[in-house]
Structure 1
Amino acid sequence: MTTSVDNAQTATDPTDTLGTVIDDVIRPQAPIVDRNGAFPRPGVDALAAAGLLGLASSTEVGGAGHGMRAVAEVIERLAAECGSTAMVVLMHYAATAVIEAHGPRDVRAAIAAGDHLTTLAFSEYGSRSHFWSPTGTATVADDDTVRLDARKSWVTAAGEANSYVWSSLPLTRDAGPMTLWLVPSDSAGLSVTGDFDGLGLRGNGSRPMTADGLRVPSTARMAADGAGLDTALGAVLPWFLVLNAAFCLGLADSAVAEAGRHLTGTTLAHTGAALRDAPVTRRDLARLMIRTDALRAFLGDTLTALETGRDDAMLRVLQVKALAGETVADVTDGAMQLCGGSAFRKELGLERRFRDARAARVMAPTTDALHDFVGRLATGLPLLDEANR
């Protein structure tokens, strides 16, 4: 498992501008993005202009060179304001981890400069949430190109990203379970084949895509043929799972804060008492705060495990998204109950956070799959049995 430690600081740190971008663009746009199911292009462009899309890119290609801890904080802060924007950026960072390790220098430099949005394209109709078992094919063509054919079921920022880290079966059947490719968005044969009208994360552009005779040069392959699963587990999964936990933390923390403001500022006219004056109400708010702070502590320990190369780092990475998915679901549900009928109104923002939080449990690897993975490691079994590799 690989990750980078936050040991790079640039003269102008992009994270210094995050608050301004949030105040000026992300927060005001969040209700519009949710209401219209619109891709958060203004927010993504503002983050790009501030250098935040290149936050995890190497300084060698002009990036900020930050590690996972700083990136997780960015995702947490974005999720607190707009879950859709946070998820688009999360997937960009997860895909960037692969491109940094195996992608071409010009694309790496474009990401570092904020000129290139990328994303993962793993989920398929044939294998659903089992991203480690692609059904899409890759075949050698006659002119030093490779033909890709697949039906991807969920691709965040579909039709909006500049490139896709694309999974397929290997060229050679016994080479391994999966191969990864870097697919440019303007590739002939690549199309978005559906719309997204979701319960939550309504603006993240998670739509199906199809590759029908799509051609890429053989040099578009990232890592060796058949080594895609090892790359996904070693380079992508830590970023994806840890950033998902940060995403959940941002949602949960903002829901607790909003509930606290509501309980403090709402007074019963017939008694003159604020909602916070009821001991049971304070107890329930405290429980939500403790659950959220426990997730924060676990996420911090997971990052430390990665940064120090601890033996339990892989276990922590698997555990943290499972914990986060259940925590944010329970906390946002509890915040809705605490605020009563007021929580159903759009202006509090609680019902949006409640809906956005539902995605964490079912986003692959799902909570159920992660529990199985944790149990396998805890009992000495490999993460995936041979039938799934």
Structure 2
Amino acid sequence: MSDQVWKALDEVIADVVAPQAQPVDEQGAFPSEAVEALAEAGVLGATVPTAAGGMGFGLADAARIVDLLSQSCGSTAMVTMMHFAAVPVLAAHGPREIVDSIAAGRHLSTLAFSEAGSRSHFWAPVSTAAPAEDDRIVLDARKSWVTSAGHADSYVWSSRPLAADGPMTLWFVPAATTGVRVAGPFDGLGLRGNGSRPVHATQATIPRSAMLGADGTGLDLAMQLTLPWFLVLNAAFSVGLAEATVREAVSHLTTARLEHLDQTLADQPTVRRDIGLMRLHTDTARAMLSDTVTAVEAGRDEAGLRVLEVKAVAAETAIAVTDLAMKACGGAAFRKDLGIERRFRDARAARVMAPTTDQLTDFVARLSCGMPMLAGA
């Protein structure tokens, strides 16, 4: 079955994802056809654990999927990545019928952590959850930058706890919940089709049974189940962008010619230096991604540190590689048909996506100094 999924993924990328990448970017359109094709191919349900009725694809397989998608369309890769990041906590604590629907490819989920009030400090929600009649819960929130907003079937949602100690509680919130609405458009520099829009909840009522885990344990659940997948898959997204950029740049630089010298651009030493640096940066980030996945799956002592490091390293790598490609390819890279300027724009997103590169760098430093990762913890 897994071989069929990989074959189907290759076909979806070739037939749907790649051809639509440029129109998705130009129009700022959600890649609905690509997402539907991925669902039908079994890709969106592949990471549900076998114990929960899924195929049990692990972190390494998920990273490979996001990497391959990102090489063709950053927006489609980001939508898939956020869905994969939501699946572990839903598989462990979500409604069984929803998990079954995800496994069957009939349900797209995403994370709704970042908020207007606490911005990239996702670990400190200011949104609230309050008890109501009939064992119901009322949510009020101003969520920001929710990938797939208006297209996902559900959100893994954070709020302040109901009553327990702890920084936050997690909820399963169907997108169709009354009082939950998409509160604005997205017209971004890059990842223009990922539908990253604000979502507000105004007296939105959900059952108390929608709580994921226990009250007040949301940060622990996020750190254990969601954040490792989010950070590692975000790194795979950046590595895929860098890989595609190197491929596009080399293709152009080895065919474009200086006719008066009867040489290709790649025959120029300064251009070859840029190619070499792009390849070195990309391979270094890919090696770190591979080691991080191995560390997580083997339960190595430094796995937590690697998870924090890999997103920062890969994000900055994609920025460096796309910048080099723009320089090496010159005016041709500014044209949309080459695909480099789209990846140049898409690559900038990971740096500012919470936890940002600056935040991750501080987390790594704090842990290296024997301090708690989060101030005040």
Alignment TM-score, normalising by the size of structure 1: 0.95
- Residue pair 2:52, 2:91 contacting (<8 A) in 1 also: no
Within 5 A, what are the aligned runs for 1:302-313?
302-313=292-303
Between the aligned partners of 2:262 and 2:42, the Cα distance in structure 1 is 49
RMSD (Å), alpha carbons: 1.0
- Residue pair 2:252, 2:329 contacting (<8 A) in 1 also: yes
Residue 22 (structure 1) aligned with residue 22 (structure 2): no
Aligned residue in 2 for 1:175:
165
- Residue pair 1:122, 1:152 contacting (<8 A) in 2 also: yes
Unaligned residue ranges in structure 2 (runs of 5+): none
- Residue pair 1:14, 1:64 contacting (<8 A) in 2 also: no
C-alpha deviation, 1:16, in angstroms:
2.3
C-alpha deviation, 1:60, in angstroms:
3.5
C-alpha deviation, 1:175, in angstroms:
2.1
Residue 323 (structure 1) aligned with residue 313 (structure 2): yes
C-alpha deviation, 1:18, in angstroms:
1.0
Aligned residue in 1 for 2:280:
290
Between the aligned partners of 2:271 and 2:22, the Cα distance in structure 1 is 28
Between the aligned partners of 2:131 and 2:243, the Cα distance in structure 1 is 49
C-alpha deviation, 1:78, in angstroms:
0.3
The sequence identity of aligned pairs, in percent, is 58
Matched residue of 2:314: which SS? helix
Within 5 A, what are the aligned runs for 1:24-173?
24-172=15-163
Aligned residue in 1 for 2:205:
215
- Residue pair 1:179, 1:226 contacting (<8 A) in 2 also: yes
C-alpha deviation, 1:59, in angstroms:
2.3
- Residue pair 1:136, 1:169 contacting (<8 A) in 2 also: yes
C-alpha deviation, 1:385, in angstroms:
2.6
- Residue pair 1:299, 1:320 contacting (<8 A) in 2 also: yes
C-alpha deviation, 1:61, in angstroms:
4.0
Between the aligned partners of 1:89 and 1:11, the Cα distance in structure 2 is 18
C-alpha deviation, 1:119, in angstroms:
0.2
- Residue pair 1:157, 1:204 contacting (<8 A) in 2 also: yes
- Residue pair 1:76, 1:246 contacting (<8 A) in 2 also: yes
Unaligned residue ranges in structure 1 (runs of 5+): 1-9
Between the aligned partners of 1:61 and 1:28, the Cα distance in structure 2 is 34
Match of 1:349 among 331, 335, 339: 339
Over 3 Å counting, the alpha-carbon distance change for 1:94 and 1:11 in structure 2 is closer
Matched residue of 1:116: which SS? coil
- Residue pair 2:129, 2:159 contacting (<8 A) in 1 also: yes
Count of aligned pairs between the two proteins: 377
Between the aligned partners of 2:184 and 2:2, the Cα distance in structure 1 is 44
Q: What are the superposed Cα offsets for residues 168-207 of structure 1, whole Å, 9 maximum, x if unpaired? A: 00001x4211000000111000000100000000000000
| Runs of 4+ more than 4 Å apart | none
- Residue pair 1:376, 1:382 contacting (<8 A) in 2 also: yes
Aligned residue in 2 for 1:262:
252
Matched residue of 2:300: which SS? coil
C-alpha deviation, 1:11, in angstroms:
6.0
Q: What are the superposed Cα offsets for residues 134-181 of structure 1, whole Å, 9 maximum, x if unpaired? A: 000000001110000000011000010000000000001x42110000
C-alpha deviation, 1:269, in angstroms:
2.1
Alignment TM-score, normalising by the size of structure 2: 0.98
Between the aligned partners of 1:27 and 1:128, the Cα distance in structure 2 is 33
Matched residue of 2:133: which SS? coil
Aligned residue in 2 for 1:5:
none
